[in-house]
Amino acid sequence: MHTATGFLHEGRAYGLLAAAGLRVPRHGFIESGNLPFEVGEPIVLKGIADQLWHKSDRGAVHFGTFEVEALRAEAAAMRQRVAEHPWIGGLVCEKVAFKKLSGLPTEALVSLKRDPDAGWLVVCGIGGLQADAWAAMAPPMIWPIALTTPEQALSDLCAHWLGRTWLGRQRGTEALTDEAKLLAFLQGLWRAVQGLEREGVTLLELNPIVLDSEGLPTALDGVGTLEDSAQATIAAPDPAWYQALVNPQRLVIAGVSSREGTVGRIILENVQKSKLPSGALRLIKPGSKEFLGLPCLASVAELAGAPTDQLILSLPAVQTLEAVEQLCRQGGGATVVYLVAGGLGDGADTDGLGKRLVACLEEHRRAGKWTPAVVGPNGLGLFSPDSALNTLFIPEVKLPLTAKPGHLALVSQSGAFLITRLSRRPELGLRAAIAIGNQMDVRCSDFLHGFATDAAVKVVGAYLEGFAPADLQATAQATRTLRKAGRRVLLYKGGRSQEGMAAASSHTGALAGDHALQAALLRRAGAMLAERMETFDAALAWLGTYPEGRPGSVAIMTNAGFESVASADLLSGPFRGARLSESETAALATAIEAEGLTGLVSARLPLDLTPMANESAYLAAAKILLESEAEAVVVGLVPLTVRLDTTRPEAIRAFASELVRLATASGKWLGVAVEGGVLFDLYRQELRAAGLPVFLTMEEALEGLRLIASEV
């Protein structure tokens, strides 16, 4: 028989599955003799040939009874029908009797895939001839082997259309199997992956999988691919790069011009406002010993004898590449190099400069030679409040950074995304906010591992457009490391549509990839994955104030009927509306009476205080709600009512401070939505300054909470 190259045929697939303890049909090649069948027994004959994926389409499947000579003749005829495919053999298989339901799909499709970015995956969905049509209504489940147990997969399967059908949990159906058999099947798949890895298999597709007469999942067909996956492993950057980036004691900038308003000049002006030690800042300026009052070096070559923690290269792409190559040749000079320029590995790189940069770094790391950690290219800079370090090339008049040190770390592949968040949320307490650029060397997973070593970081927020090669799985593993240490990871992944993927590729030079796969892997690792930027921002605001906890019950208090109604519609899924006990309801009624709101306000949740409520009424009600079962209270303030003082800063501060005091005393979360125009920006600003998470709408506040409540 022919030995297939790069093709995993059905006979070999059956052997690998059976070795893992999975049910497969009795089978054997007609050419080998000693077949496990009785004369006249119903069988299926399949023509197995190299790269023949769809046998039935080519007349290479025959249903009949076991008669050796007749089957030999049929196999010979099949061989002629697929003559362009090297023949492997005629596979005789047991005709499996399996269970069906009228009008409902009972066949499954399982794909075991070794993804170069995500590692081994199990994809499970509805199979059979109409698999594509059913997938639109019941998307397949994706289980990353490294991050999912068979027990977790069983929970997903039981909730899926396929599992509900198999288990008789659809209306008017009977059970075809039970959870114990399904768990044993999933455990077998996990074992099978180990065998596939040893054999060099990269893909095994099983379609269909049916339930036999005893309810055992049985693969009726299986084909796949094999290849040599050996890859060289490149050493990670020196761990010292993280502190050198966010807390450098020595810093050098190349590319500072005498002209004001240029990129390098803006970076310098921002850096000069930092708390760097005296004499820590130098410039690279050929032909100058001093420039703008700062000492200068002639080139990066001089860093060999006077190294720096961080080197910022604000130079054209070609000069940037040459500077990094020079550092590598001389074996030292900068722990971390931040590349500002684009044109390296992105849509503007027409000369292969990016490939040359990567080759240089890889060559030195493989050889065990000193290599700088390179952040970027196409990087906008970073902000680290602890040392007031601002290397962004945005002038202070456009982005006055006043954020205090805190527990949030932000990383963004898009510099614009980062600075707009800093502009919109100046109250966030930050450890660092970093534009990571195109991840040509230091990648998303490296940043997450860096944050994991930083005790100050409790929450990581990240915006990504694409993953560097093989970094998806590494990012998921780093996310899991952070989660196991009690940290939170909030992600927004751009480039989900075909148009978005194309835009991400042209912008960053990175592949956006399969969003469903990426989302499944990251969520399974414990990341909160926002589907909208507004949801990301809202969750970030909540976590910026409350890094710990996960509210599951929410109490709503507003002064507008539309907010109460709309909010109630959003209280479903992973979090629900809180309920008041009889005594709490009575206490609320007493408070309403004391505030002169009897007949206007009902003592129930969601609580509509009406426009007649003033700050005193809000505070009295907030105290009761914070003492209830509610784990979070969301306060809606439509500020146009004359009963709320929205103009006097001292009055706003007193109100905000009391809300903060009540929330702190209760140990509960409390946020505020101010639904009004720019006239009330001062009101929002003072509430934020007091330490409250503030939102533009109740919907925004609740969507952020919903995402946090859904965290794995």
pLDDT (tens digit per residue) in 393-452: 999 999 999 888 999 999 999 999 999 999 999 989 999 999 999 999 999 999 999 999
**What span, in angstroms and rounded, lies between the C-alpha atoms of 665 and 623?**
10
504 — pLDDT class (breaks 50, 70, 90) = very low
- Domain map of the chain by residue range? 26-94, 108-226, 545-709
The answer to whether 250 and 278 are in contact (CB under 8 A) is no
The β-bridge partners of 338 are 312, 375
Percent of the chain, pLDDT > 90?
82
What lies within 8 Å, CB to CB, of 457 at 6+ separation is: 407, 408, 409, 431, 451, 487
Write the burial class of residue 104 (CB in 10 Å: 0-12 exposed, 13-18 middle, 19+ buried): middle
| Least confidently predicted of 68-77, 100-109, 642-651 | 100-109
Report field, pTM of the whole predicted structure over 0.95:
no
Residue type, 9: H
Q: What is the pLDDT of residues 675-691, one digit of tens each?
A: 999 999 999 999 999 99
Q: Which residues contact 347 (CB under 8 A, 6 or more apart)?
A: 505, 506, 507, 509
Identity of the amino acid at 701: A
Peptide bond into 208 cis (omega under 30): yes
Percent of the chain at pLDDT > 70 equals: 95
Helices and strands: H and E segment counts in the chain:
22, 31
Query: Is residue 171 very low, low, confident or very high in pLDDT (cuts 50, 70, 90)?
Result: confident
Residue 606: asked if its preceding bond is cis (omega within 30°), the reply is: yes
- Alpha-carbon gap, residue 483 to 87, rounded angstroms: 51
- 313 residue type, one letter: L
**29 with 91: CB under 8 angstroms?**
yes
* Distance of alpha carbon 365 from alpha carbon 571, whole angstroms: 52
Band of the pLDDT at 619, cuts 50, 70, 90? very high
pLDDT band at 496 (very low <50, low <70, confident <90, very high): low
Q: Taking a C-beta distance cutoff of 8 angstroms, is the pair 495, 504 a contact?
A: yes
* CA dist., res. 480 & res. 597, Å (int): 50
The answer to whether the beta carbons of residues 335 and 249 sit under 8 Å apart is: no
More confident residue, 225 or 515: 225
CA distance 542 to 539: 5
Residue 529 pLDDT more than 60? yes
| Residue 508 binned pLDDT confidence (cut-offs 50, 70, 90) | very low
* CA–CA dist 204, 225 (Å, integer): 7
* Range in 3-17, 464-478, 574-588, 631-645 the model is least confident about: 3-17
- Per the listing, tokens 């996310």 go with 479
Domain 108-226 carries which CATH code? Answer: 3.30.470.20
Report the pLDDT value the prediction gives residue 235, as an integer from 0 to 100. 60
Examine the pLDDT at 388 and tell me if it is beyond 50.
Answer: yes
Give CA–CA dist 206/222, Å, rounded: 4
For strands 61-65 and 42-49, give the pairing: antiparallel
Q: How confident is the model at residue 74 (pLDDT cuts 50, 70, 90)?
A: very high
The residue that leads in pLDDT, 36 or 501, is: 36
Omega cis (within 30) before 377: yes
Is the CB of residue 543 less than 8 Å from the CB of residue 708?
yes
Do 344 and 320 meet the contact criterion of CB atoms below 8 Å apart?
Answer: yes
* Amino acid 10: pLDDT: 93
- The partner residues of 411 in beta bridges, in order of sequence, read 434, 462
From 86, 125, 95, select the one nearest 109 (Cα to Cα): 125
pLDDT at 558: 96
- Regarding predicted confidence, which is higher, 345 or 319? 319
280-312 CB burial, b ≥16 within 10 A, e <16: bbbbbbeeeeebeebebbeebebbeeeebbbbb
Query: Distance between CA 487 and CA 503 in Å, rounded?
Result: 32
Helix residue spans in 367-497 (DSSP H) = 415-424, 444-452, 471-484
Average pLDDT over residues 304-328: 97
In this prediction, residue 694 has a pLDDT band, given cuts at 50, 70 and 90, of: very high
Length reported for the chain: 712
CA 649/CA 638 separation, integer angstroms: 17
Check residue 403 and report its DSSP letter.
P
Q: What is the pLDDT of residue 173?
A: 87
pLDDT score of 228 = 53
Mean local confidence (pLDDT), 24-29: 96
What pLDDT is stored for residue 128 in this prediction? 75
**7-16, pLDDT tens digit by residue?**
999 999 999 9
CATH code matching the domain that covers 26-94, chosen among 3.30.1490, 3.30.70, 1.25.40, 1.10.3470? 3.30.1490
What mean pLDDT is predicted for residues 606-625? 97
Task: Provide the pLDDT for residue 110.
Answer: 95
Res. 1 pLDDT band, cuts 50 70 90: very low
Compute the mean pLDDT over every residue in the chain, rounded to the nearest whole number: 92
In the prediction, which pLDDT does 32 show? 85
For residue 497, what pLDDT is reported? 52
Q: What fold characterizes domain 545-709?
A: Rossmann fold (3.40.50)
Split at pLDDT 50, 70, 90, the class of 2 is: very low
Is residue 62 predicted with pLDDT exceeding 60? Answer: yes
Q: How far apart are CA 430 and CA 410, in angstroms?
A: 8
Between CA 355 and CA 195 the distance in angstroms is 36
Q: What is the C-alpha to C-alpha distance for residues 674 and 680, in angstroms, rounded to an integer? A: 8
For residue range 95-137, list pLDDT tens digits in order: 999 999 888 889 999 999 998 888 999 999 998 767 677 777 8
